[in-house]
Chain A
Amino acid sequence: MPHPDPTAPALSLDETRARAIFAMVCDANGDHAVEVTLAATVSELTRFANNTIHQNVAEEHVSLSVRTQTADGRTARATTNRLDPEGVRAVVARAGELTRLQHPDPEALPMAGPQTIVPVTRFFPATAALSPADRAAVVGDIVSEADRHGFTTAGVVANQQGALAILNSNGLEAFHRETSAEYSITMLAIDSSGWAKGNAPDLSRLAPVAAARRAAEKARLSAAPVEIPPGRYTVILEPAAVLDLMGFLFYDFGGLSVLDQRSFLTGRTGTKLFGDNITIRDDVAHPLQSGAPFDGEGIPRQATTLVEAGTVRHLVYARQTAVRMQREQPAMQAAPTGHGFPLPNEYGEAPANIVMQGGTNSLDAMIADTERGILVTRLWYIREVDPFKKILTGMTRDGTFLIEDGKLQRGVRNFRFNQSMVEMLNQVDQLGVSERSSGEESFDMVVPPMRVHGFQFTEVTRF
């Protein structure tokens, strides 16, 4: 039963207001080309620990970011949250002054003109309206689940609404509104824990109480964990663990990253780098995805096949990177894909809506088919050890199990891994059904659980 909150702030940006602010910016601007990015957010988050709500916060925020550009390619950006006429004039003046002090850039492209953007529906009023009392009720149900097991629980229940608008003096207009709802739940037993997390634009797609039961079951099953030696194991990675690893790959799929020779794909585009069963796309329109259908310049995001049957097929490109790649490496056949960051920037672009092709197996079936291995619920504190071999390190957390004879036998102490992602994606022998998943180290993705042979654990910790 919803509990409306009359004190809650409303989202303060729509297309009409965006156009009005843009008109104020244009009035204050001189002869420069100008681009305006407006972002408004209302976000609320209820946090609990020790079976108590201990932090409970709300925020409303709007920002106006102005980029000006001269005919000789000088450009700079200034940002404010003062949207009164004086604030608007001041931010335009600051952007203009910063622009004047830049060096001419003959490679800079003029601002883009009008674009055809296919809208995506990701705003759900019921999600936006979730009130503090509603969130507290959900937390109450999660705590009841913890109490039933004698566990302690910690986590969040959150909702957010946001609006984004990009307009420029060449006639480009791009608008997007979106909601999101999220839960993250940790169940803590005496010497074990379990975890589950979900995030979606539409609250009705989430089932936090069922997730609390799963987390509690993991905490129960992993009680009294035993230490087993580090080494190479067959490992089943649940989707949250997969996405947190995958998140360290995707900046390398930006064209500028390859041109800068900082990507592990430098010299490897077009080569078969991974196993036959690895296919990865970037697709903002996928029904399980989230986010705006345009990039930081307002260019429509295009579905892009990054990896097909193990071969690196395509990179993603901002407009300017595509031009440079066409000039320096014409064989790449680069074209803008709508993945650029707001200008000016030094990183270019990156995929943002990863969809990894899965299989048909359920997680339970994958476990049942494993003679001996490790089930990993979640990974933690992942960092890149080697940028070209793409070795990552990190820890397992909140539910690590020994599998024997197709069954979860017991919990084990958490491992540190040091694993090359290039090697790992050649050693995947089973993929489960892809699902929208949330972790803590990367943005949400649509990924499957995967079984990997020879995954390298190098150390064991004390719990």
Chain B
Amino acid sequence: MRQLGGWALDSAVGGGASYADVRVLGERHRSLSTKNGKVGHVGDEESLGVGIRVLLDGAWGFAATDRLDRAAIEQTAAHALAIARASRHVCRTPVVLAPEAAHQAVWHGPCEVDPFTIPVDENISLLLEVDAALRGVAGVTLAEADLDFRRQHQVFLSSQGSDIEQVRHLSGGGYAALCFAGNEIQKRSYPNSFGGQFQLAGYELIDRLQLLENAGRVAEEAVALSRAAQCPRQVGTIILDSSQLGLQIHESIGHPIELDRVLGMEANFAGTSFLTLDKLRHLRYGSELVNVVADARLQHGPGLGTLAFDDEGVPAQCTDIIRAGEFVGYIHSRETAAMVGDMRSNGCMRAESWNRIPLIRMTNISILPGPQSLSPEDLIADTDDGIYMETNRSWSIDDKRFNFQFGCELGWEIKHGKRTRMLKNPSYSGITTEFWNSMDAICSRPHWTLWGTPNCGKGQPQQTMGTGHGAAPARFRNVRIGTAYQS
């Protein structure tokens, strides 16, 4: 891989690039699914390619190829330079990169059990056992289960002398039970919706998820939902489980703090942000209990955003985003750091694969747990009237990240400190800063989970990225509930 990267780097620099970096990435991907007692799909995919990014007179060019002979790589480097020359024709402000030292490193992410050593028939057997347990509950009309494993091996070389090799294993799995009952479809997922839980881990994650142990309960809840009362429309108190709070963080904190959005670079597609530069250290984003970090370091946990270096060769860091409710930090790149006068990037440039440029992406954007011991049961006991919502079902937010609406799979009515009855179709909506300022309780560390969101879309051409979000159940007051089902 280094030889391929070296050919590319030499060609780019020899062709006149003032800066160049090269990523050579090999990826292996295994995905499996079952549905209603049969295998849905089994796939094994591998890919190896080279992405070459160059700066020429302050203008960017990028070209990528999977033809890996020397002539093809040199042609691709020449094409990246030709693209950069074209960029110069519409360039108002030349790109400047914030300084970064050269780094040499080899890093292997955590992986106790290489998922590719687990036989595929063992994977299928697990999924079919889960499937049988789900369909063993009368009323379940559709059962789906998935496993997903990736191994990413990347060598990053830059004209500034960096040589960084990283190996990351990403694992995930989960399932859903659906109940069609004549005029509605209800669904329960475990451990999270849209494919389950994902982390920077090996097969040990799948063992820890206790998939089979929870299948009966999840299936029973799906059926019970079809007979449950409709979530009322009201303004009131909600408690979000940690997975839903993770997605709430992703949409209403993670995206608006991306400095490329703030600076208008994503205006055509992903949108901009209400967090204009004047808001930094001048906005009360949330209540005193709201402390949020962007932390790509391994000590934060094995998240989808955990890495040793980003795809610009900047080391993983922890950045305070919200401190005791005050907005104090963005996530950025070497380019945007220089644009706003920061001395250094905080290491959030990530590319989907070898054929895409790195963009500012979330690493692990997490809310810190509460300092006082507080369990979900304690929180419910402390709530006189409210709704506990579990597991995301729908999510939507405007292109500046003010107004959001989320739907969840299941709600529990809380009366006088006790869960009383199940509610179907729970939803809530609000304005980002009003919502976070209404948070008056969050559970403590033992109830905090680092969730993986594997499907975050951004960029043109669009890239899908995995992000991490640590969260614990939390309570919010005076929230609009049930607007999704307004008639």
Given the interface pairs A12-B67, A79-B46, A346-B35, the reply to whether A55 lies near B355 with Cβ below 8 Å is no
A260 touches B268 (CB 8 A): no
Contact partners of B64 in chain A: CB under 8 A: 57-61
Q: Does B431 contact A (CB under 8 A)?
A: yes
Nearest B-chain residue to A397, judged by Cβ: B399
B79 touches A133 (CB 8 A): no
A101 touches B119 (CB 8 A): yes
Complex CA gap A3/B84 in Å reads 15
Given the interface pairs A143-B90, A261-B180, the reply to whether A57 lies near B63 with Cβ below 8 Å is yes
Complex CA gap A383/B79 in Å reads 39
Near A by CB (< 8 A), chain B positions 361-413 give 393-400, 402-403, 405, 407
Q: Does B263 contact A (CB under 8 A)?
A: yes
Which of the 9-residue segments A16-24, A150-158, A302-310 touches chain B?
Answer: A150-158
Interface string of B82-100 (1 = CB under 8 A from A): 1111110111110000000
Near B by CB (< 8 A), chain A positions 78-107 give 78-82, 91, 94-95, 97-98, 101-103, 105
Contact partners of B187 in chain A: CB under 8 A: 387
Interface string of A25-67 (1 = CB under 8 A from B): 0000000000000000001111111111111111111110000
B402 touches A385 (CB 8 A): no
A46 touches B399 (CB 8 A): no
Determine chain A's interface SS by DSSP, over half rule: strand
B429 touches A416 (CB 8 A): yes
Contact partners of A133 in chain B: CB under 8 A: 85-86, 89
Identify B44's interface contact among A50, A79, A188, A380, CB under 8 A.
A79
Which of the 9-residue segments A112-120, A274-282, A358-366, A453-461 touches chain B?
Answer: A453-461
Identify B60's interface contact among A7, A44, A56, A97, CB under 8 A.
A56
Near A by CB (< 8 A), chain B positions 112-128 give 119-121, 124
B396 touches A58 (CB 8 A): no
Contact partners of A429 in chain B: CB under 8 A: none
Q: Does A414 contact B (CB under 8 A)?
A: yes
B39 touches A344 (CB 8 A): yes
Contact partners of B393 in chain A: CB under 8 A: 385
B430 → chain A closest CB, angstroms: 9
A365 → chain B closest CB, angstroms: 29
Contact partners of A9 in chain B: CB under 8 A: 65, 67, 75-76, 79
Q: Does B248 contact A (CB under 8 A)?
A: no
Identify B46's interface contact among A60, A80, A458, CB under 8 A.
A80
Q: Does B427 contact A (CB under 8 A)?
A: yes
Identify B36's interface contact among A184, A260, A384, CB under 8 A.
A260
Complex CA gap A103/B405 in Å reads 43
A54 touches B394 (CB 8 A): no
A262 touches B403 (CB 8 A): no
B84 touches A56 (CB 8 A): yes
Nearest 10 A/B pairs, CB to CB: A346-B40, A132-B86, A461-B403, A261-B180, A154-B267, A7-B79, A79-B45, A154-B268, A136-B86, A7-B78
Provide 19 A-B residue pairs closer than 8 Å at the C-beta atoms, listed in order of the A residue: A7-B79, A49-B265, A50-B93, A52-B93, A53-B89, A54-B60, A57-B357, A58-B80, A59-B63, A59-B64, A61-B49, A103-B39, A133-B86, A133-B89, A140-B89, A158-B461, A261-B141, A346-B144, A381-B397
